[in-house]
Each structure stands twice: as C-alpha cells, then as structure tokens.
Amino acid sequence: MEAHKQLTIGLFGFGVVGEGVYKVLQQTPSLKASIKKVCIKNPEKKRDASQELFTADKNDLLSDPDINVIIEVINDSEAAFEIVSTALSNGKSVVSASKKMIAEYLPELLELQKQTGESLLYESAACASIPVIRNLEEYYDNDLLYSIRAIVNGSTNFILTKMFEEKLEFQEALLLAQQLGFAESDPKLDVEGFDAVNKWTFLLTHAYGIIERPENIVFNGIQNIQSADAAVSKEKNFDIKLVAQAKKLQNGKVAAFVLPQFVKLDGHLAFVKNEYNGVVIESSFADKQFFYGKGAGSFPTASAILSDLSALRYQYKYEYKKLYHHTPHQLTNDFHVKVYVSFDDWKYIPREKFEWIDEWHAGSARKYLVGGIHFNELKQNTWWKDNNTSLILLPEAVVEDMEIRKLKKKSLELAGIV
C-alpha cells in the first residue's frame, strides 16, 4: 500500500468493538480512512448507522477492489480466520481484534503473512488500549527482556475488584462486566482463563519468539477463588490478581503461565483495578517499566484499532523479530513454583507432590497449605483446579534450582525436624 493513501475499509462485525470503531473513525477525519461496507450476520437487526452500509455477504467486502483494508472484529474464530486469510490472499491489509483466532491459528497466520507480504496487525487483541505488542516487538531486544508480568483480562480483574473491594457477589460482578461490554459472549472464556492464555500465546511470540499452542501453556482462571482465599490474602497484605507471566531462567529457557497470584499491595499490579490492564516488564538495564491502561471496552479497543490503521499508512508490518531475526527462546516446565492451595478436604491434595511445605492451616471449613511444587506437576495433572481446589501463586513464584535447597531446609526447620 502506498504511503498516505486513502484507507477504504471493509468492517466485519458491528458489536461492542465494531460499533466503537465506526464511531471513533467518524470522529477522526484526519486519518483519511472511511468505512465502505460493514458485514454482519443478522441484517434485520436495527443499528445506529445508515442501512446501506450493511451487508450479510462477505464477498461484498472481500472481492471489492476499492477496499484495501479489512477490519475484522467478530466472535467466531473459524469464520474470522477464513475472512483474514481470504483478505490477505486478495492483497488487502488486515486489522484484527480476534485474540482467540490469532492464538489458535498463529502458525498459519505467520505463513500467510510471509506468502502474501500483506500486513496483519492486531494491537487491540491484547490489553486493548495499551500498545504492548508494538513495544515488545520493536523496543526490547531478545536478550534484554528478563521477565513480563501482566494483567491481560479486563473482565476477571473487574470481577476481582468488585468482589473484594465492593463486596459484590461473583454473579453480580460478572453481570456488570457483561453489561459494560467487557466480557466475552461466552463469559467462561474470561472467567476460566482462556481469553488470558490466548492473549499470552501471541504476546510470547512478540516477546520471545515462542510459538506454542494455547492449550500447552499452563493456565487457570478465577473460578475457584473463594472468600476464604480473599481473607488469607488480606491477612498477608496481598491482593489476588489473574497474572500472565513469563520469566527467562538462568539456562536461557522461558517459564510462562497464566495463574491467579497474590501480589504485594505496594506493587504495580495491585494498582490495576477494574477493567484496566497492566504490564510490568523487567529488562537487564532499565529495571522495571510499567504500562497501564484500559484493557476492555468499546473505545479503548477501538483506539488500538485506530492506531493500527494509522500504522498501515506507513506500511508497518510486524517483523516477528524475536522469531525470525534471533534464536527464538524455548518454553520449559522444569522449574519450581511457590503456591498457596486451599481446599475442602485433604483427600484432594497429594501432599507427597510438594517438595517443601512452609505453612498449613486445617480449619474445619476451608483448609490451606503453602509450599513449593515442581511446575511439571501442574502441567501434567489437574487436582490443583478440580474439586473446588484453589491454587494461587505466591509473589516471586518461580524458583530455580539453586534456591530450592535453601527453601527445603527452611521448611524442615519450621517443622522442627532439623
């Protein structure tokens, strides 16, 4: 696409995000971008835009030679992939917000970008208004990026905030997140961590060159977190967040997962409330940097789409530098994590799997223990999320070999064994 050329857009989807894009574009004439057609599933539905704009036939957009950009913001990931691949093959640039589709079809999308030379941008698909993808892609060199810790799902963060700070019930908080347009149409995707791990899948590609299927990354959501966990968290001066993490280990491999975690009250992530997202990046020389902004909602998501459109005007493409220009990092499950596990009955907890135990509490209702476990145990088994069991990582959860002996000794001392 020539620089400064008029962008003629075909938009797929007119839900919370699609309508947001339409409105935001109307308010940004300086961008020289206009929507020619919008493809929707149900043409009968009343919408707040001229009826002629809409069609139910995708070819009206995909085969129109005037349309040089496709914006795709639909829910169905198979249909989204079909649209994106046809658009790229037809020589159109694509801006997508479909995190599930991007996570599930990443290898195919990489191949399509290579084959067609067309640009596929998706800044809005992770952390909405925070420019995290372009920053990871452009700013951080492969070797300098030490760790990333992020809140990447607005709905779960909103629910946790409303439950623990405003004492709303889980269902009430979820309903509110749905009404405000933050939640997925199937809210299980938010609550059980699927949306967060989908986003983490491609953020790992831009950060470390890792290509992994979302189901191979250990994750959980907030569905098992109980008020008893919140009470323990308060007692220990922590907050509970759903945190996506990646940390480069001393052997150069990367530990990565999405799990609930206790965060220190004076830390960056504790500051992130409601539908906001936050990303803390640690790099070798800059120490910590913190990115913060709205992670869900119509206009925050549309703002990132707008920025992608603007980038298309100077022919911006992701180079996937960490994948193609460096030696990509590998994921590993060979490390330990410090965990808190709360449960209804000891029979659900294989205590022998813990390498060390620092604390345990055997109340009549909810019981818990705090200790260390090999990460592979979480990868290979599900007891830690079955039977109403709730696993929450401790702050600084990842433990490498050298520290383990020290932690084991401390735990034996605590038990009065040595």
Nearest distance, CB of residue 155 and ligand HSE, angstroms: 3
How far is residue 109's CA from residue 414's CA, in Å, rounded to a whole number? 52
* Nearest Cα to Cα of residue 263 among 239, 245, 295, 296: 239
Asked if 272 touches ligand HSE (CB under 6 A), the answer is: no
Give the number of other CB atoms < 10 A from CB of residue 146: 17
Query: Letter for the amino acid at 52?
Result: E
Asked if 296 touches ligand HSE (CB under 6 A), the answer is: yes
Q: Are 245 and 257 contacting, i.e. CB atoms less than 8 angstroms apart?
A: yes
Q: Could you please report the per-residue DSSP string of 238-295?
A: EEEEEEEEEEE-TTS-EEEEEEEEEEETTSTGGG--TTEEEEEEEETTTEEEEEEEE-
Closer residue to ligand HSE, CB minimum distance, 280 or 337: 280
155, 161, 198, 224: which one binds ligand HSE (CB under 6 A): 155
Asked if 118 touches ligand HSE (CB under 6 A), the answer is: no
How far is residue 127's CA from residue 291's CA, in Å, rounded to a whole number? 10
Nearest distance, CB of residue 356 and ligand HSE, angstroms: 35
Q: Which of 199, 322, 367, 385 is catalytic?
A: 199
Residue nearest to ligand HSE (CB): 155
Binding positions for ligand HSE, 184-213, rule CB under 6 A? 184, 190, 195
Asked if 300 touches ligand HSE (CB under 6 A), the answer is: no
Closer residue to ligand HSE, CB minimum distance, 15 or 328: 15
153, 233, 389, 390: which one binds ligand HSE (CB under 6 A): 153
The owner of tokens 């067609």 is: 116
Asked if 128 touches ligand HSE (CB under 6 A), the answer is: yes
* Nearest Cα to Cα of residue 388 among 276, 227, 190, 167: 227
How far is residue 413's CA from residue 390's CA, in Å, rounded to a whole number? 27
183, 197, 373, 393: which one binds ligand HSE (CB under 6 A): 183
Tell me, yes or no, if 379 is annotated catalytic.
no
Closer residue to ligand HSE, CB minimum distance, 183 or 203: 183
* Nearest Cα to Cα of residue 109 among 87, 128, 142, 134: 87
122, 140, 182, 356: which one binds ligand HSE (CB under 6 A): 182
Closer residue to ligand HSE, CB minimum distance, 58 or 294: 294
Q: Are 127 and 300 contacting, i.e. CB atoms less than 8 angstroms apart?
A: no
Stretches 135-143, 152-160, 308-316, 357-365: which one binds ligand HSE (CB under 6 A)? 152-160
Q: Which residues lie near ligand HSE (CB under 6 A)? A: 128, 153-155, 182-184, 190, 195, 295-296
Active site amino acids? 199
